[in-house]
Amino acid sequence: MIFEDMDRIVFAGDSVTDMGSAQPVGEGLFENLGMGYVRIIDNLLAACYPERKIRVTNSGVSGNTSRDLLARFQSDVVDLKPDWVSICIGINDVWRQYEDYCKIRHSAFIAWDRVHPNRVGATLMARAFLEKCEFDYNHGNGEVH
């Protein structure tokens, strides 16, 4: 996996990232990371790589456009001195401009309003992110170190 012990990952974006996180920057226990894909990523990192202390930060702000994120990028991303940054933004720039024609299931299966992922959609986002980070679901074989 690409993340090392003591790395910090900052997730920046709009409501899809935010999902009820603490503002302006969400970290730590309880629901500070929100209820979406950022929380799932943090849970899986902790469960599968308990020996690595990876700091996950949610810097998503509901309603943000790309321009909004650019305006706060220094304070909400760069100043946090991340080792890694993930950006998920754009739905508010083109909100519902394009219709989604799901080939297998209706789009409501992963996002009821076709914007905000439900638990299934958030899990799919987390899984896609972690796959690109060389995440190994079998790391540690569930053993607590």
Q: Which domains does the chain have, with CATH numbers?
A: 8-142 (3.40.50.1110)
Residue 55 is given by DSSP the state E
Residue 94: which pLDDT band, with cuts at 50, 70 and 90?
A: low
Q: What are phi and psi of 10, to 5 degrees?
A: -110, 125
> What's the pLDDT tens digit per position in 30-70?
789 999 999 999 999 999 999 999 999 999 999 999 999 99
What is the chain's length? 145
Distance CA 102, CA 105 (A): 5
What is the value of pTM for the model shown? 0.81
State residue 71's pLDDT score: 97
Cα dihedral 57, 33, 61, 122 sign: positive
Rounded mean pLDDT, 10-39 = 90
State residue 117's pLDDT score: 84
